[in-house]
Amino acid sequence: MALYAQVIIDIAHTNVDRVFAYSIPAEEAIEVGQRVLVPFGRGNTAKEGYVIALCEQVDVPKERIKPILRKAEGFAALLPEQVRLASWMAQRYHCLMVDALRLMIPAQIRGDRVHEKTLGVAVLTEQAATLQTVKAALYTKGGACKAPVQKQVLELLEQMPEGMAVTDLYAFLPGCNSAVAALKKKGALIIKDVPVRRTPYKQMAPGTETRPVLTDEQAEAFHAIEQAMDEPRPGQTSFLLHGATGSGKTEVYLCAIEHALQKGQGAIALVPEISLTPQMVQRFRSRLGEPVAVLHSRLSAGERYDEWRRIRNGQARVVIGPRSALFAPVQNVGLIVIDEEHEQSYRNEQRPQFESAEVARKRLDEQNGVLVLGSATPSVTTYYQCVQGKLRLLEMPTRVGKMGLPKVVVTDMREELKRGNRTVFSGVLYEAMQRTLERGEQMMLFINRRGYSTFVQCRGCGYVVQCEHCDVSMTLHKSSRGDFLRCHYCGQQKAIPPLCPVCGKPYLKQFGMGTQLVEEQVRQHFPQARILRMDYDTTQGKDAHLNILQSFGRREADVLIGTQMIAKGLDFGGVTLVGVVAADASLYLPDPRSAERTFQLIMQVAGRAGRDQLPGQVVVQTYHPDHFAIDTAARQDYKAFYRQEIQNRQIAQFPPFANFVRLLFRGQAEQAVRAAKECHGLLLQCLKEHNIVPLQLEMGYAPIARIKDETRTQILLKLPSGPQADAALDALYTLFYRRTWPHCTLTMETNPSNMV
């Protein structure tokens, strides 16, 4: 038996980020992964901590070692492999050990804020003699019943050997409360606390759907995966499943997961967004039944806790969820699937910053498990890994069934304007909408901006209405209570000024369009159409996503208008038309991935059309029909896009050929500028020590120089890729990432997904 435990205290602070030794009380059995309460600090206050190792000896004098007070739970919250993963993450992503450990448990179990839910269940005592005596005492000598309600309760429970929930009992026999209390006091009945499971997506019952006959492409892909699972060879267990939308990738995942379960292994399937979870859960439950658990942040604390417990104790061996599901306590994980691998949500922006695919690979390496990344539009960096032989490529270019890919038409909006069309719909899209509605089919209209219009500008002097706290223009929103302006960065709202605050003229006009404007125009032109809108503003409620999607799925609406939320993974048989209202919105952003993002978005939305029996049509509206990203997306030619894009990146020295590192300083103007200058000096010195000449090094204001009244300065560094530069990068992280700057917040990111 180990005498000491190495404990990480549950306080996120650099100064506390090390192990503290505690002695294990003789009567306690403590395992690695156990959460414990320990005396900490001068006041010896009880703090929670994680046991990450056990040992026989410590190099601290014995008298200074304090004992563990008690366990936080009756079981070890973390698996030993999770503790190992956390240590790896702390090193790889330069985060605190406790930051990594906290990813592995539901937030509310810390601080004891969530528990098992129990239900009071009344059962009869097993002591027959007691029961007999109590029963007999209910009658007078003459045989009349003195307590008819107590008699009823006993008779009811006699028929219920499992007992009955007390609340049900009260409902069934109104007014029996005191009778129950009396019987309990006499020992005739006992009230047991029985754990109840809080189940997310209860309405999705497990079904008995069977596996369809796989297409040749599916069978080939699955066999390669199956073989890697059965006979894993190092370096041969990571796959990219490049399959067209509707080619049946999910089916391949399901087969692989079934195979893992047959082998007694666990599996994790990641989806990019919470809004996609219900669809996945539905499909997985109906195929795999009960062993499927769901984990994500929109579940109630209780549901999350129960799902997590079910996984921890092995009742659920398949977990679905967004990137956080990667840390679920699934035992013996043999397979991890990352669906729509190109999505940015697989990168954690907060500390610890991590890449899901990399963590997944690490988690699988212990037992040589299989990683499957799936996408119709793999990220350029992922595809490049395939080309280099680091990932095995599986291709499924054909859609399941007879349906080919939908027909895509690109319309040039410059021509529309010349023709005098000032609506948001090109002639082609307008006619297609009309036909779709006439036929009683459904359509999706995609516009990647919420609100009504993008900005409000004075046509007299050019002034654009800005947020008072951020250097950004405000967006016009409409509501039943009138129009107002809102800042999408800080949430600040204000009324639209009647006159231009600069030149005083009444020429303020809105420009650009958002989901609300599109909705309004559809209403104007097609008053008979039933419309649903899905964007940030309409999905704030707990089940809002699900409700909108289910309603559309039940065909309660003809038109679904939405932001990128509707672009991904959704599968509605009735949709035959997809309109990309403004394809250019993401094309000229200050971001090395803007071409890739535009291509992916168009491909993804286009993939929503014609998934069932009816052929699909896609209309892409753009001002840049000749741009290669739009052209290749319209032709749905991933490889053509990849060839051009990888060449561009090689020439421009963009990832994967180089890495951008951004240090962002936020604070009061002076401090933010000073910190940037100081760091610039340190950075130069560090690069020099590592003999690295940066490809680019700039210091200045961030593209948005002020958000929420904070000034934002930055250092933008581009490093060549390669081991030497990686070592320098590590050193830079050590230098900056964990340090705190006075009056200034420093964030450091490699290849940030948001450059503003």
CA dihedral 275→281→284→286, nearest 10 degrees, is -130
* 194-213 residues near ligand ADP, rule: CB under 6 A: 212-213
**For residue 290, what are the β-bridge partners?**
none
Select from Zn ion, ligand ADP, none the partner in contact with residue 571, using the beta carbon and a kind-dependent cut-off of 5 to 8 Å: ligand ADP
Rounded CA gap, 458 and 510, in Å?
9
Instruction: Name 215's Cβ contacts closer than 8 Å, sequence gap at least 6.
Output: 248, 396, 398, 400
Q: Which token pair is 720? A: 């060549």
Identified binder of ligand ADP from the candidate list 33, 200, 243, 302, rule CB under 6 A: 243
Nearer to Zn ion, 139 or 536 (CB): 536
Rounded CA gap, 718 and 662, in Å?
9
Measure Cα distances from 718 to 528, 658, 683, 731 in Å. Answer: 54, 7, 12, 15
Nearer to ligand ADP, 218 or 356 (CB): 218
Quick check: 251 binds ligand ADP (CB under 6 A)? yes
Nearer to ligand ADP, 247 or 563 (CB): 247
Quick check: 404 binds ligand ADP (CB under 6 A)? no
Residue with tokens 């435990």, as numbered in its chain = 5
Select from Zn ion, ligand ADP, none the partner in contact with residue 259, using the beta carbon and a kind-dependent cut-off of 5 to 8 Å: none
Quick check: 242 binds ligand ADP (CB under 6 A)? no
Instruction: Name 259's Cβ contacts closer than 8 Å, sequence gap at least 6.
Output: 225, 226, 229, 335
* Cβ-contact 72, 43 below 8 angstroms: no
Quick check: 217 binds ligand ADP (CB under 6 A)? no
Nearer to ligand ADP, 398 or 598 (CB): 398
C-alpha of 15 from chain center:
31
* Cβ-contact 469, 709 below 8 angstroms: yes
Binding segment (CB under 6 A) for ligand ADP, from list 248-256, 312-320, 503-511, 619-627: 248-256
Closest separation between CB of residue 376 and ligand ADP, Å? 7
- Residue 73 — φ and ψ, nearest 5°? -130, 165
Closest separation between CB of residue 577 and ligand ADP, Å? 18
**Sign of the dihedral through C-alpha 277, 280, 286, 291:** negative
Select from Zn ion, ligand ADP, none the partner in contact with residue 469, using the beta carbon and a kind-dependent cut-off of 5 to 8 Å: Zn ion
Rounded CA gap, 110 and 305, in Å?
11
Closest separation between CB of residue 667 and Zn ion, Å? 17
Quick check: 334 binds ligand ADP (CB under 6 A)? no
Nearer to ligand ADP, 282 or 466 (CB): 282
Nearer to Zn ion, 487 or 508 (CB): 487
Burial of residue 56 (CB within 10 Å: 0-12, 13-18, 19+) is exposed
- Residue 473 — φ and ψ, nearest 5°? -80, 155
Quick check: 219 binds ligand ADP (CB under 6 A)? no
Select from Zn ion, ligand ADP, none the partner in contact with residue 248, using the beta carbon and a kind-dependent cut-off of 5 to 8 Å: ligand ADP
Nearer to ligand ADP, 282 or 721 (CB): 282
Select from ligand ADP, Zn ion, none the partner in contact with residue 247, using the beta carbon and a kind-dependent cut-off of 5 to 8 Å: ligand ADP
Nearer to Zn ion, 282 or 492 (CB): 492
Select from ligand ADP, Zn ion, none the partner in contact with residue 602, using the beta carbon and a kind-dependent cut-off of 5 to 8 Å: none
Closest separation between CB of residue 576 and ligand ADP, Å? 15
Residue with tokens 């499924």, as numbered in its chain = 396
Nearer to ligand ADP, 251 or 519 (CB): 251
Identified binder of ligand ADP from the candidate list 215, 348, 473, 617, rule CB under 6 A: 215
Q: Which token pair is 99? A: 């930051």
* Cβ-contact 219, 398 below 8 angstroms: no
Select from ligand ADP, Zn ion, none the partner in contact with residue 471, using the beta carbon and a kind-dependent cut-off of 5 to 8 Å: none
Identified binder of ligand ADP from the candidate list 248, 352, 616, 656, rule CB under 6 A: 248
Closest separation between CB of residue 547 and ligand ADP, Å? 22
Closest separation between CB of residue 666 and Zn ion, Å? 14
Select from ligand ADP, Zn ion, none the partner in contact with residue 195, using the beta carbon and a kind-dependent cut-off of 5 to 8 Å: none
CA dihedral 97→265→310→192, nearest 10 degrees, is -130
Closest separation between CB of residue 394 and ligand ADP, Å? 12
Instruction: Name 584's Cβ contacts closer than 8 Å, sequence gap at least 6.
Output: 598, 622, 623, 624, 630
Identified binder of ligand ADP from the candidate list 33, 106, 163, 246, rule CB under 6 A: 246
Q: Which token pair is 310? A: 């079910």
- Residue 159 — φ and ψ, nearest 5°? -85, 0
Q: Which token pair is 362? A: 């690490």
Instruction: Name 353's Cβ contacts closer than 8 Å, sequence gap at least 6.
Output: 93, 95, 347, 749, 750
Quick check: 600 binds ligand ADP (CB under 6 A)? no
Select from ligand ADP, Zn ion, none the partner in contact with residue 251, using the beta carbon and a kind-dependent cut-off of 5 to 8 Å: ligand ADP
Rounded CA gap, 168 and 174, in Å?
10
Nearer to ligand ADP, 89 or 224 (CB): 224
Select from Zn ion, ligand ADP, none the partner in contact with residue 322, using the beta carbon and a kind-dependent cut-off of 5 to 8 Å: none
**Angle, CA 734 vertex, CA 733 and CA 735 arms, to 5°:** 90
Quick check: 245 binds ligand ADP (CB under 6 A)? yes
CA dihedral 262→268→269→275, nearest 10 degrees, is 130
Measure Cα distances from 161 to 126, 127, 197 in Å. Answer: 10, 14, 21
Site residues, Zn ion (CB under 5 A): 467, 469-470, 487, 489-490, 492
* Cβ-contact 553, 437 below 8 angstroms: no
Dmax over CA atoms of the chain, in Å, equals: 105
Q: What is the DSSP string of 33-89?
A: T-EEEEEETTTTEEEEEEEEEEES--SS-GGGPEEP-EESSSS-SS-HHHHHHHHHH
Nearer to Zn ion, 84 or 469 (CB): 469
Select from ligand ADP, Zn ion, none the partner in contact with residue 490, using the beta carbon and a kind-dependent cut-off of 5 to 8 Å: Zn ion
Select from Zn ion, ligand ADP, none the partner in contact with residue 249, using the beta carbon and a kind-dependent cut-off of 5 to 8 Å: ligand ADP
* Helices H / strands E in the chain, number of each: 21, 33
* Cβ-contact 217, 249 below 8 angstroms: no
Closest separation between CB of residue 63 and Zn ion, Å? 57
Binding segment (CB under 6 A) for ligand ADP, from list 8-16, 242-250, 459-467, 578-586: 242-250
Select from Zn ion, ligand ADP, none the partner in contact with residue 400, using the beta carbon and a kind-dependent cut-off of 5 to 8 Å: ligand ADP
Closest separation between CB of residue 109 and Zn ion, Å? 36
How far the first Cα of the chain sits from its last, in Å, is 55
Quick check: 306 binds ligand ADP (CB under 6 A)? no
Rounded CA gap, 252 and 212, in Å?
11
* Cβ-contact 692, 719 below 8 angstroms: yes
Select from Zn ion, ligand ADP, none the partner in contact with residue 453, using the beta carbon and a kind-dependent cut-off of 5 to 8 Å: none
Quick check: 285 binds ligand ADP (CB under 6 A)? no
* Residues 530-569, mask of contacts with ligand ADP (x by CB under 6 A): ----------------------------------------
Nearer to Zn ion, 492 or 750 (CB): 492
* Cβ-contact 253, 223 below 8 angstroms: no
Quick check: 571 binds ligand ADP (CB under 6 A)? yes
CA dihedral 620→622→624→629, nearest 10 degrees, is -40
* Residues 383-402, mask of contacts with ligand ADP (x by CB under 6 A): -----------------x--
Quick check: 713 binds ligand ADP (CB under 6 A)? no
**For residue 510, what are the β-bridge partners?**
456
Quick check: 247 binds ligand ADP (CB under 6 A)? yes
Identified binder of ligand ADP from the candidate list 156, 214, 695, 731, rule CB under 6 A: 214
* Cβ-contact 237, 280 below 8 angstroms: no
Q: Give the interface with ligand ADP as residue ranges (CB under 6 A).
A: 212-215, 218, 243, 245-251, 400, 571
